[in-house]
Structure 1
Amino acid sequence: MKNITKLSFVTALSMASFPTCLSANETLADAFTNGKIKGEIKSVYSSSNFLGNSKTDNISTIGGSLGFITADFYGFSAGATFQASHVIDDRNKNNVFSSDLNASGGVLSEAYLDYKLSNTSVKAGRQYIYTPLVSTAIDGKSSESLLKDSFEAYLLTNSDIPNTTIVAGYVDKYQAKTDGNTDIGKFNDFEDGAYTLYVKNNSVENLELQAQYLDVNATNSNNDRNNIYLQADYKIGTHTISAQYLSSKDESKGSTLEDGELYGIKAQGALGIGKLGYLVAFNSSTKDGDVNLGAGAGTTDTAFTAMPVNGGGVPTRANTDTLVGGLIVPVYDITTIAYAGYSWSNGGLGDVSAVGAMAIYPFYENFLLKVNYEHVETEHTIIPAGIEEKNTDVARVYLSYKF
């Protein structure tokens, strides 16, 4: 709970200086009066027998978030988001959820000051970030949990170039979902800091281009890492064709394994039969080393073939090819998605296959129910040693109310 009172230095200083540096107190009061409150009450249940554990882990949690952002005041605005979680029932036999759901407590995950002038904005403090290489957990993806991870960062965003958004940033601290020991993660130094540059361009009709660079200065210089990401999305009628490339250098892996590369292609859209939809994706990695995905829980979903429950860890292994396909079937107000994937490799876990399904049901205004199930079969396991097929079954139920 110490996190509740621990604000970013820059944010706290800036917010504290508001009343003394501005004389229009009534207008400043209006900025708070006209601010917006948003939040979510959420409950998550999950079970998993990870890699064939004889005893299944089960956990039930409840919590949510409450956020407030002021209205604009001469280009300035400030925001804060508080998160809380409570474990109702914990039957963890193998600590499967130690870094995901098994956390009780509260944390002030956002506390920032944002200044906008023309087409440029500067945002400083604790904040959620959503870019391919630096990303908070993403709702609806495998990284979704009851809690979100967060960054203490300084971002400059500019859109002076037509149809182009440029984001330059420095990440100073990171708050994980949990601390791995039944408490919510605290804001700790993110190595010795990380610099990133992200560009998105829509100049060509129906074509969106994205590029990002991330440079992480590790506390130990022998563990420095950097990433490059490229993505192109082209719309053809109701279909979108996408391509991606990701390269990483992780010096902590050693000179023979530090370089990783991942290529991907994806197609998604409508089938032309009622409201049926489809998604087909393929990723291939080089044999040099595993691919580092960047910073934050949301990056586990960056690879096109990331599984809806278990994420993108498998397709980012070295020398691995992965194919995933899904079918979207709306039935009345329920969106049902059935999917399957297969990954083949000569090392590590060997071949991995997966099948799964999810149902999304907005059963009442602002209420949402989601049910996910995924079955994964792995050819090799690391523990115990040897070649032995192990199965993993994961079920998740999300119930949320947003306001």
Structure 2
Amino acid sequence: MTKIAKLSLVVSMVLVTSTCADTLEEAFKASKVTGEIKAEYADSNFLGKASSDNVSAVGGSLGIVTGQYYGLKAGVTFQTSHLLDIDNEGSVFKDDLDAQGSVLSEAYLDYKISNTSLKVGRQYIYTPLVSTSVDGQPSESLLKDSFEAYMVTNSDLPNDLPNTTLMAGYISKYQNQTDGDGNTGEFVKDQVQDGAYTVHVKNKSIENLTLQAQYLGINGYTSGSDKDVLYFQADYVLAKHTLSAQYISSTDKSLGSTLKDGQAWGVKATGPLGLGQLGYVTAFTSSMDDGEVYAGLGKGTSDLLFTAMPVNGAGVAQRGNADTIVGGIMVPIAGVTFVPYAGKSFCNPNSINSSSLMGDVTGTGLIVIYPYNKNFFIKANYEHVTTENTYPGVLPNGYLNDKATDVAKVYLSYKF
């Protein structure tokens, strides 16, 4: 929307203007500055590509949020990415790390009265179905994606709904991490088309139990491209273990009448193993319809299903008529945490879903995390994935039929 674009510009100008009244000046003096310096190396031979693509990049972000002035505050976040080296002939990283340039990803006004706030402009959003990329998850990258939106958040509902947070919003544009052509992403309507709206409710009124539900609807340019999705999740803490359940139902009319409906449920357990500081995570999800599950807007939604793999996300588990199980253990040794994990996805061969051509998929991997101090950490990921079939007969030139994908990533972060 042009109004949001103009508002983003106004916010940027206000934040660098010093001609303010005394009380407004105090709000600017109370501004908080945060930032992050990042570096990443990644290598992948996606779906058995004959030679690996790789990329090395440095970048970071700088954010400023003013103090409140009669309930009103403003914020901006700049991001930058610079390529040191890249071999991206197979375009493996064109939607992720292949970005050169700087971008204004947040520029918003946030007005709060009592326990209700209205946030307008470019902003990061973190909900199950509308989510910016998340640190420490498969969506983690040098650049975060962002949204142009109106978002209302309320945590002051009537007494019969205590400890409940309600968020509702309208999203008009989306900024991807890249533009697919070697540059940082711009705010465009492609993902949201004629606009998206969402409602998210989270409740903690029962001890040790967290319940949440969300709905997302996207108005397509035509009725044949409309999308909507409904999501439920419950998390219960029992003796240091967290037991979780989820359900998702989606409709993506752009896939056609036979594949438009997607539906999945899942369960997950995490907690200590009772042996020193060892921990575990195990999860199972099942998609029950022929259509692929649509998980929502933003790179962060690649983590939505409990069986999302730490590097490649939940794409395999989202396909129709597939059962997926994953498990891993956390092993802390001398300040370093090692996380070996494995997962397998079983696809119903009778499914009419074209993704069934891929058949069963198996993944194994290792994450190594070293937090040098509270501000600086290093993380290395390696994941090996094999497929029963790699779309036989339809692979482009330059791809092998060994049905294997190897991905390696090294990520450094310093926050200030």
Matched, 1:35 2:31: yes
1:168 counterpart residue number: 168
State the AA in 1 paired with 2:118.
Answer: V
Query: 1:121-178 CA deviation, whole Å, 9 max, x = no partner?
Result: 0000000000000000000011111000000000000011220000000001100000
Shift of 1:16: 6.6
Q: How far apart are the structure 1 equivalents of 2:48 and 2:31?
A: 50
Residues 401 and 17 of structure 1: CA distance in aligned 2, closer, same or farther (over 3 Å): closer
Matched, 1:283 2:285: yes
Shift of 1:95: 1.0
Shift of 1:384: 4.1
Q: How far apart are the structure 2 equivalents of 1:172 and 1:13?
A: 18
Matches within 5 A, 1:72-221: 72-161=68-157, 162-189=162-189, 190-221=192-223
2:346 counterpart residue number: 344
Residues 171 and 389 of structure 1: CA distance in aligned 2, closer, same or farther (over 3 Å): same
Matched, 1:392 2:402: no
Q: Which moved more, 1:341-350 or 1:171-180?
A: 341-350
Aligned to 1:357, the other structure's residue is in SS state: strand
Percent of paired sites with the same residue: 56
Q: How far apart are the structure 2 equivalents of 1:99 and 1:14?
A: 28
Which residue of 341, 345, 364 maps to 1:355?
364
1:274 counterpart residue number: 276
2:12–2:76 Cα contact (<8 Å) kept: no
Shift of 1:256: 1.1
2:241 counterpart residue number: 239
1:137–1:149 Cα contact (<8 Å) kept: yes
2:353 counterpart residue number: none
Q: How far apart are the structure 1 equivalents of 2:362 and 2:167?
A: 37
1:380 counterpart residue number: 389
State the AA in 1 paired with 2:208.
Answer: N
Query: 1:297-355 CA deviation, whole Å, 9 max, x = no partner?
Result: 00000000000000000001000000000100111211111100000102231000000
Residues 244 and 50 of structure 1: CA distance in aligned 2, closer, same or farther (over 3 Å): same
Matched, 1:402 2:404: no
Residues 150 and 18 of structure 1: CA distance in aligned 2, closer, same or farther (over 3 Å): closer
2:5 counterpart residue number: 8
State the AA in 2 paired with 1:385.
Answer: V
Shift of 1:365: 4.5
Residues 168 and 224 of structure 1: CA distance in aligned 2, closer, same or farther (over 3 Å): same
1:379–1:389 Cα contact (<8 Å) kept: no
2:50 counterpart residue number: 54
Q: How far apart are the structure 1 equivalents of 2:35 and 2:114?
A: 29
Aligned to 2:47, the other structure's residue is in SS state: helix
Q: How far apart are the structure 1 equivalents of 2:257 and 2:144?
A: 34
Query: 1:99-137 CA deviation, whole Å, 9 max, x = no partner?
Result: 000010010000000000001000000000000000000
2:261–2:289 Cα contact (<8 Å) kept: no
Query: 1:34-61 CA deviation, whole Å, 9 max, x = no partner?
Result: 1000000100000001111111111000
Which residue of 354, 357, 366 maps to 2:375?
366
2:336–2:368 Cα contact (<8 Å) kept: yes
Residues 256 and 86 of structure 1: CA distance in aligned 2, closer, same or farther (over 3 Å): same
Q: How far apart are the structure 2 equivalents of 1:303 and 1:400?
A: 26
1:158–1:167 Cα contact (<8 Å) kept: yes
Shift of 1:17: 8.3
State the AA in 2 paired with 1:402.
Answer: K
Query: 1:272-308 CA deviation, whole Å, 9 max, x = no partner?
Result: 1111000010000013311011000000000000000
Q: How far apart are the structure 1 equivalents of 2:11 and 2:36?
A: 27
Q: How far apart are the structure 2 equivalents of 1:14 and 1:81?
A: 11
Shift of 1:362: 1.1
Q: How far apart are the structure 1 equivalents of 2:20 and 2:341?
A: 57
2:11–2:108 Cα contact (<8 Å) kept: no
Aligned to 2:357, the other structure's residue is in SS state: coil
Aligned to 1:52, the other structure's residue is in SS state: coil
Aligned to 2:195, the other structure's residue is in SS state: strand
Query: 1:190-224 CA deviation, whole Å, 9 max, x = no partner?
Result: 31100000000001111000100000001222100
Residues 241 and 107 of structure 1: CA distance in aligned 2, closer, same or farther (over 3 Å): same
TM-score normalised by length of structure 2: 0.92
1:7–1:111 Cα contact (<8 Å) kept: no
Aligned to 2:313, the other structure's residue is in SS state: coil
2:22 counterpart residue number: 26
Shift of 1:227: 0.3
Q: Which runs of 4+ in 1 moved over 6 A?
A: 14-20
Residues 24 and 181 of structure 1: CA distance in aligned 2, closer, same or farther (over 3 Å): closer
Shift of 1:388: 5.1
Shift of 1:14: 6.5
Residues 144 and 384 of structure 1: CA distance in aligned 2, closer, same or farther (over 3 Å): farther
Residues 54 and 119 of structure 1: CA distance in aligned 2, closer, same or farther (over 3 Å): same
Residues 166 and 191 of structure 1: CA distance in aligned 2, closer, same or farther (over 3 Å): same
Q: How far apart are the structure 2 equivalents of 1:384 and 1:65?
A: 44
Aligned to 1:101, the other structure's residue is in SS state: coil
Q: How far apart are the structure 1 equivalents of 2:119 and 2:130?
A: 15
